[in-house]
């Protein structure tokens, strides 16, 4: 039988006991992290969310409690009364926050027993993630995991405080809503009351927050769950959380400025890191030109250099042909990397191949000139021009990709980020932000022969590009902006279209005809016709942001109950089958192929 709590009242959390309390009587409760039984003396490390505290049980002080302590095992739930005491000379443990003190226990209660846990809950061994997730309630007891969740709490608290201070109203938007074309696959929820019809879970509260602006709330914010039925990645979960904001009567600068303030507070209060009040900005075009990607990691240089003009007439056919046929030749100079082995170069080539590059040329700058399979194809003037463009010096390694602009940028850009990691240029406690602006409004889909919205269909074009909508929509730029932190997109938003006519035109360009637009977005179009204010907003990926703050590479580390890569929950075993009755009520019959 377990002991009852009785009239015992906990005086404080284990990790908060300090040397200043020496001599005080306290009552603490928690989980047994470890018991060290010396036959005579027994030590118990008692753990709660604030830390670990050593209990000392001496048979000479109280035989009864000593006997009881001998029964205690790992993860038993225990309450003790005792005196905060100094540890004897030479037995202070500097590794523990409470290492100067211990509790001389006078009375102990076993409040609950525990099976032997399937894995140790200390911080010493690595445990496979699927086992941790299956017993997540135990994994969540571990100090490091608790720290991540408490960091997440501090971040959301700071965000709520900041947004409240700046006049944002927290309003909840529907979770059962309507499926929309474009964008990610929707999670669908069948309607019982309306047989054969489905709700969709929101990919984001986009339309509703715009309606709230039409409604005159001026500033809206919500920390909200969003759902996207797409394949998972280390930084992607099917349900994730956004810090979702929208503001009226503002332009891009207003939004970016106010959000810079929020991010600064989050870093300061979350992890005690001060970041600049104003963050750098580059355009999408510049990001692509210099870094090859629209989410550049600016912790290091290693910029891409375009060589298309220089190699146009060179003897290396691969380069020359691509340069003359509208392709792009670019290179990066990896300083001091001429020592890379053949295997390392092969690995880098394979890496570039992942992103579609059919090859990667390399040049080692040695004391006696170029060491490279392609050196023989270039005349001295070309060698010199290339060296100059890349500021190449002895000991450098030059890496080239020649392909379509898209593939050259993507593969070399990813290669740049890969090398930043490999060479230790990207340091974990270094935080480099950049706003990327002026994204193209549309992206052309070659297969379907139609435009897609790069951001979403409600994004406003730059004022000076509005005319392009009629002539060359592919060249129109958007009033959109992404916040990129260490190569990771942590937030993005735009100024929205607040004019019904422009919005209708936009749908037209996206191949959404009048009828479909009415059916899917009629309520938005209607709303825009009733005096919609100029407005815009932004959404931050809370999980990704906390991930970076926590210094982890997996989004699952900052979500209490995450899903696996196949979108299942190992703990609850969701998703699961449902009864025939449930299906019948919903008017759903499963296809035979679905087993």
Partner RNA sequence: GGGGGUGUAGCUCAGUUGGUUAGAGCGCUAGCCUGUCACGCUAGAAGUCGCGAGUUCGAGUCUCGUCACUCCCGCCA
Site for RNA in 543-582 (CB under 7 A): 554, 556, 564-566, 568, 570
Give CA–CA dist 185/179, Å, rounded: 9
Tell whether residue 73 is a contact of RNA (CB under 7 A).
yes
Contact yes or no for 401/352 (Cβ under 8 A): yes
Out of 56, 307, 332, 524, the only residue in the binding site for RNA (CB under 7 A) is: 56
Tell whether residue 454 is a contact of RNA (CB under 7 A).
yes
CA 47 to chain centre: 30
223 backbone φψ class: left, alpha, beta (φ>0; ψ -120 to 50): beta
Least distance to RNA, CB of residue 165, Å = 27
Give CA–CA dist 508/178, Å, rounded: 21
**Strand 328-334 vs strand 369-371: parallel, antiparallel, or unpaired?**
unpaired
Q: Is the CB of 54 or the CB of 432 nearer to RNA?
A: 54
Tell whether residue 461 is a contact of RNA (CB under 7 A).
no
Residue span binding RNA (CB under 7 A) among the ranges 14-22, 124-132, 326-334, 368-376: 124-132
Q: Name residues contacting RNA, limited to 213-252 (CB under 7 A).
A: 228, 230-236
Distant-in-sequence contacts of 18-23, Cβ < 8 A, 24+ apart: 18/98, 18/101, 19/86, 19/100, 19/101, 21/84, 21/101, 22/84, 22/85, 22/86, 22/101, 23/83, 23/84, 23/85
H or E element, residue 360: none
Tell whether residue 88 is a contact of RNA (CB under 7 A).
yes
Tell whether residue 488 is a contact of RNA (CB under 7 A).
no
Tell whether residue 505 is a contact of RNA (CB under 7 A).
no
Out of 90, 272, 424, 576, the only residue in the binding site for RNA (CB under 7 A) is: 90
Least distance to RNA, CB of residue 477, Å = 14
Tell whether residue 203 is a contact of RNA (CB under 7 A).
yes
492 backbone φψ class: left, alpha, beta (φ>0; ψ -120 to 50): beta
Selection from 189, 222, 192 nearest residue 206 by Cα = 222
Q: Name residues contacting RNA, limited to 336-365 (CB under 7 A).
A: 354-355
Our CA angle for 248, 539, 232, nearest 5°, is: 155
Q: Is the CB of 400 or the CB of 458 nearer to RNA?
A: 458
Give CA–CA dist 43/28, Å, rounded: 15
Q: Is the CB of 2 or the CB of 91 nearer to RNA?
A: 91
Tell whether residue 416 is a contact of RNA (CB under 7 A).
no
Tell whether residue 64 is a contact of RNA (CB under 7 A).
no
Residue span binding RNA (CB under 7 A) among the ranges 83-91, 147-155, 187-195, 264-272: 83-91
Q: Is the CB of 37 or the CB of 289 nearer to RNA?
A: 37
Sign of the C-alpha dihedral computed for residues 221, 432, 549 and 574 taken in this order? positive
Residue 42: CB partners within 8 Å, gap ≥ 6? Answer: 35, 36, 56, 57, 66, 69, 70
What are the structure tokens assigned to 513, written together?
A: 């005809």
Maximum alpha-carbon separation in the chain: 93
Out of 116, 449, 471, 579, the only residue in the binding site for RNA (CB under 7 A) is: 116
Tell whether residue 143 is a contact of RNA (CB under 7 A).
no
Residue span binding RNA (CB under 7 A) among the ranges 22-30, 145-153, 177-185, 264-272: 177-185
Tell whether residue 67 is a contact of RNA (CB under 7 A).
no
Q: Name residues contacting RNA, limited to 5-44 (CB under 7 A).
A: 34, 36-41, 43
Q: Is the CB of 296 or the CB of 396 nearer to RNA?
A: 296
Helix 500-509 and helix 514-528, axial crossing angle in degrees, nearest 10: 160
Q: For 159, which DSSP code?
A: H
Q: Is the CB of 109 or the CB of 414 nearer to RNA?
A: 414
Q: Is the CB of 131 or the CB of 391 nearer to RNA?
A: 131
Out of 270, 292, 420, 457, the only residue in the binding site for RNA (CB under 7 A) is: 457
Residue span binding RNA (CB under 7 A) among the ranges 201-209, 247-255, 330-338, 518-526: 201-209
Give CA–CA dist 137/127, Å, rounded: 14
Size of the site for RNA (CB under 7 A): 71
Tell whether residue 525 is a contact of RNA (CB under 7 A).
no
**Beta-carbon-side half-sphere exposure of residue 276 (alpha carbons within 13 Å):** 9
Three-class SS state of 233 = strand
Give CA–CA dist 276/261, Å, rounded: 9
Q: Is the CB of 147 or the CB of 565 nearer to RNA?
A: 565
Three-class SS state of 85 = strand
Out of 2, 24, 91, 268, the only residue in the binding site for RNA (CB under 7 A) is: 91
Least distance to RNA, CB of residue 91, Å = 4
Q: Is the CB of 9 or the CB of 566 nearer to RNA?
A: 566
Tell whether residue 124 is a contact of RNA (CB under 7 A).
yes
Q: Is the CB of 107 or the CB of 122 nearer to RNA?
A: 122
Out of 13, 27, 51, 58, the only residue in the binding site for RNA (CB under 7 A) is: 58
Catalogue the E-assigned strands of 337-421: 361-366, 369-371, 397-403
Give CA–CA dist 162/264, Å, rounded: 10
Q: Is the CB of 317 or the CB of 592 nearer to RNA?
A: 592
Each residue 93-112 as x (binds RNA by CB under 7 A) or -, in order, gives x-xx--x--x----------
Q: Is the CB of 232 or the CB of 405 nearer to RNA?
A: 232
The dihedrals phi and psi of 494, each to the nearest 5 degrees, come to -165, 165
């Amino acid at each position: 039988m377990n002991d009852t709590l009785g009239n015992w009242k906990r005086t404080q959390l284990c990790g908060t006991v300090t040397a200043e309390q020496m001599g005080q009587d306290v009552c603490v409760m928690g989980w047994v992290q470890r018991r060290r039984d010396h036959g005579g003396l027994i030590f118990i490390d008692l753990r709660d969310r604030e830390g670990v505290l050593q209990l000392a049980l001496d048979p000479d002080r109280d035989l009864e409690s000593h006997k009881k302590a001998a029964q205690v095992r790992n993860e038993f739930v225990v309450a003790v009364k005792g005196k905060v005491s100094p540890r004897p000379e030479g037995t202070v443990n500097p590794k523990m926050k409470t290492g100067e003190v211990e509790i001389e226990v006078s009375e102990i209660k076993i409040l609950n027993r525990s099976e032997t846990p399937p894995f140790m809950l200390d911080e010493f061994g690595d445990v496979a993630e699927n086992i941790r997730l299956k017993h997540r309630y135990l994994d969540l007891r571990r100090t490091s995991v608790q720290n991540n969740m408490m960091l997440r709490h501090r971040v959301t608290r700071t965000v709520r405080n900041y947004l409240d201070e700046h006049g944002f109203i927290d309003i909840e938007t529907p979770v059962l809503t309507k499926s929309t074309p474009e964008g990610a696959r929707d999670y669908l929820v069948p309607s019982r009351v309306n047989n054969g019809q489905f709700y969709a879970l929101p990919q984001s509260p986009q339309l509703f927050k715009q309606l709230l602006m039409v409604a005159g709330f001026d500033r809206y914010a919500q920390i909200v769950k969003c759902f996207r039925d797409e394949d998972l990645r280390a930084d992607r979960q099917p349900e994730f959380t956004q810090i979702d904001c929208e503001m009226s009567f503002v332009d891009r600068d207003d939004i970016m400025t106010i959000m810079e303030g929020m991010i600064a507070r989050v870093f300061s209060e979350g992890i005690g890191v001060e970041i600049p009040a104003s963050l750098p900005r580059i355009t999408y075009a510049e990001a692509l030109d210099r870094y090859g990607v629209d989410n550049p990691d600016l912790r290091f240089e290693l910029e891409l250099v375009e060589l298309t003009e220089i190699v146009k007439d060179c003897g290396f056919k691969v380069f020359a042909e691509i340069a003359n046929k509208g392709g792009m030749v670019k290179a990066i100079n990896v300083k001091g990397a001429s020592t890379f082995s053949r295997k390392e170069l092969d690995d880098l080539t394979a890496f570039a191949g992942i992103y579609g590059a059919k090859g990667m040329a390399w040049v080692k700058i040695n004391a006696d000139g170029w060491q490279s399979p392609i050196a023989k194809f270039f005349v001295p003037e070309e060698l010199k021009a290339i060296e100059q463009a890349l500021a190449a010096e002895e000991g450098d390694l030059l890496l080239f990709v020649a392909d379509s602009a898209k593939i050259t940028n993507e593969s070399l850009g990813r290669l740049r980020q890969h090398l930043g990691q490999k060479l230790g240029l990207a340091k974990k406690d270094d935080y480099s932000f950049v706003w990327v602006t002026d994204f193209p409004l549309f992206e052309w889909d070659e297969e379907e022969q139609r435009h897609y919205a790069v951001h979403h269909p409600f994004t406003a074009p730059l004022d000076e590009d509005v005319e392009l909508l009629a002539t060359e929509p592919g060249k129109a730029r958007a009033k959109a902006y992404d916040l990129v932190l260490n190569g990771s997109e942590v937030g993005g938003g735009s100024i929205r279209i607040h004019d019904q006519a422009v919005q209708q035109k936009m749908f037209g360009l996206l191949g959404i005809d009048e009828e479909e637009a009415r059916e899917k977005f009629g309520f938005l179009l209607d709303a825009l016709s009733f005096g919609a204010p100029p407005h815009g907003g932004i959404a931050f990926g809370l999980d990704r942001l906390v991930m970076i703050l926590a210094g982890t590479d997996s989004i699952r580390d900052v979500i209490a109950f995450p899903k696996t890569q196949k979108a299942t929950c190992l703990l609850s075993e969701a998703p699961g089958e449902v009864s025939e009755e449930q299906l019948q009520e919903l008017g759903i019959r499963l296809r035979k192929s679905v087993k």
